Amino acid sequence: MNDNTEAEHLEQIEQAGDGGNDLPGRLGAMRRDRAALMALETEPAPDWLLDAAIDRAMGEVDQRALRLLEQGDDRPPPAPRLSTHRPRRRRLPVVPAMAAAVVLLVGGVVGLNVMRWFGPAPAAPEAQADRRAAGHRADVDPAMDPAPLAVAGDVQPRHPAADAPAPVTLGGVPSLAEAVGLLREGRLALVARGGASASIRPALEAMAIHAGSWTVSPGVPDAALARIDLPEPGRLVFASGSHAPAGELVHPVRSVWTARLDATPTAIASLLGALEELGLDVELRRLSAPNPIEPAPDAGDVLWWDRPPSAWHRPAAAAVVVETLP
Amino acid sequence: MDRPDPDILKRAQEGDREALDALLRPEVDRVYAVCRRMVSNRADAEELAQDALVKIIHGLRGYDGRASLSTWTTRVAINVCLSWHRARGRRMRRIGGIIGLEHPDSIESPHAGEPGGVDGVEEREDPRRRVERALDAVRPDFRAVLVLRDVRGLDYAAIGSALDLPVGTVKSRLFRARAALRAAMEAMEEDGGADGRGAVDE
């Protein structure tokens, strides 16, 4: 039945089955099943399959997936954009690194001393408090101090909001090619919806290590966050039960994260792919003004000379607006 | 046994795109066929075949050319599919637990019913379609031996190598897999061809 070996014993098995449980009939049916299975025809693999796999394996941007993205095709792209190419570990050249560390250290010490020698000596806190209490403002340059002017009535004190820069609003959806330019200008945002925030962060951190071209951090300074004028979430979702009764319609929980990424289409596509792999619906959005969120510096900023020139990308920051299930 | 050209293999291992294409082009249909028979729809098969090819390309440096390339690529493809089934099983059990399903494995793929899927009245008339549908109801580890034996035509030793199993285990598993497939076919016949889903363990 299975092959020659079993065929040798087939007759014995069939004879043994004559006892009444229709073993021969069952074996015959299994033979027919096998024949039908062997007759199954499989269509040839799609033409793009190997090219897409090579692109992905070599860490290149898959043009087909990019085209689908730009056309707004929401089918799962056949060529995932998240590169699985593992960054090779490189040994840090010890001597140049030590020399750079010494130069930085000496420069820092010298700089601090120069500031101490030539700059104004800071007054003791008690002395400053005494002077404020007495209305004495000797430590402030009168030309730069608005308080006496306001008191004199020459200039109306301005409302703090008047000095604040215009709020940054979310605009339309750019193409991926345009998104690279926007990212360089600091005007790119990603809006991701769906899923539960508790599981997204650890998964993204793990994927970021794998990708190598981006990181996402959830901490955003309040001042920067206040500058982004996000519209209220208009849709309602079913609560999952952690903060509201399961099944109840609630507004999604919104948070803004900072993505730090290379200003390349590969890095953007990789981040998009990672968010989509976590089940989030993601779209690129244009910001009306440069993103007020600054990416936190990392070791790569100092050690850029340790990388090959092809990896010398200026890192940029993009706001990631995440709306998740409560 | 198919041995790749050493020069092409060397260039492919160094990341030469043309060499990769020349080396793997003959394998693509085989890899895809394994994936196509291991999952029930085309979209998943394409995705899994691509995952398998990426793993093959990344693993080329460790391939010395002494073993058959097609057996090795089949091994990678079948293991990618089995991992996918394991992950899908976990996902379905989780979802089933949330929504209270008794048999979460019976949740259909969102792609079921697509062209090239296994749904459709006319397919029930065709014995090949019926066996294809019954194959979907067989446990993934049973399905793997059936696919390797009957679709890829591998011998017991190659199946054992692909699945890390001794030959004796391959034989017994193949027999149990055929019995499971028969049970699924009979279940479909009893239901008038309507359903054979749900993992058949036998």
Q: How far apart are CA A197 and CA A322, in angstroms?
A: 8
Chain A, chain B: beta-carbon pairs less than 8 Å apart? 110
Interface-testing mutation among B91, B131, B173, B176, with chain A (most A C-beta atoms within 10 A): B131
Q: Closest residue of A to B19, CA-based?
A: A54
pLDDT score, position A264? 80
> Would you call A57 and B134 a contact, using CB atoms and an 8 Å cutoff?
no
- pTM of this prediction? 0.45
CA distance B66 to chain A (A): 23
The answer on pLDDT for B111 being more than 50 is no
Q: Closest residue of A to B51, CA-based?
A: A53
Chain B residues touching residue A59 (CB < 8 angstroms): none
* Helices of type H across A164-264: 176-184, 197-211, 222-227
Q: Which domains does chain B have, with CATH numbers?
A: 1-117 (1.10.1740.10), 121-194 (1.10.10.10)
- B31 falls in which pLDDT band (50, 70, 90)? very high
- Nearest by CB to residue A37, choosing from B33, B43, B146, is B146
Chain B residues touching residue A1 (CB < 8 angstroms): 178
Q: How far apart are CA B169 and CA B163, in angstroms?
A: 10
Pairing of strands A168-169, A228-229: parallel
Residue B16: which residues within 8 A CB-CB, separation 6 or more? Answer: none
Chain B residues touching residue A78 (CB < 8 angstroms): 46-47, 50
Own/partner pairs for A71-76, CB < 8 Å, 24+ apart?
A: A75/B43, A76/B43, A76/B47
The answer on pLDDT for B44 being more than 80 is yes
> Would you call A30 and B151 a contact, using CB atoms and an 8 Å cutoff?
no
Q: Closest residue of A to B127, CA-based?
A: A36
pLDDT score, position A16? 53
- Tens-digit pLDDT profile for chain A (326 aa)? 555 545 545 555 555 555 556 777 778 888 888 888 888 877 889 888 998 888 888 774 445 455 555 555 555 444 333 334 444 444 556 677 788 888 888 887 777 766 665 544 444 444 444 444 444 433 433 333 333 333 333 333 344 444 556 666 666 777 777 888 888 888 888 888 876 666 777 777 777 777 777 888 776 666 666 667 776 655 555 555 455 555 556 666 777 788 888 878 778 888 888 888 877 888 888 887 777 666 666 655 555 555 555 555 567 888 888 877 66
> Would you call A36 and B182 a contact, using CB atoms and an 8 Å cutoff?
no
> Would you call B57 and A54 a contact, using CB atoms and an 8 Å cutoff?
yes
pLDDT score, position A133? 42
* CA-to-CA separations, B19 to B22, B25, B64, in angstroms, rounded: 5, 10, 16
- Nearest by CB to residue B182, choosing from A29, A40, A50, is A29
User: What are the residue ranges spanned by the domains of chain A?
Assistant: 4-38, 43-71, 168-297+309-325
Cβ–Cβ contact B197 with A under 8 A: no
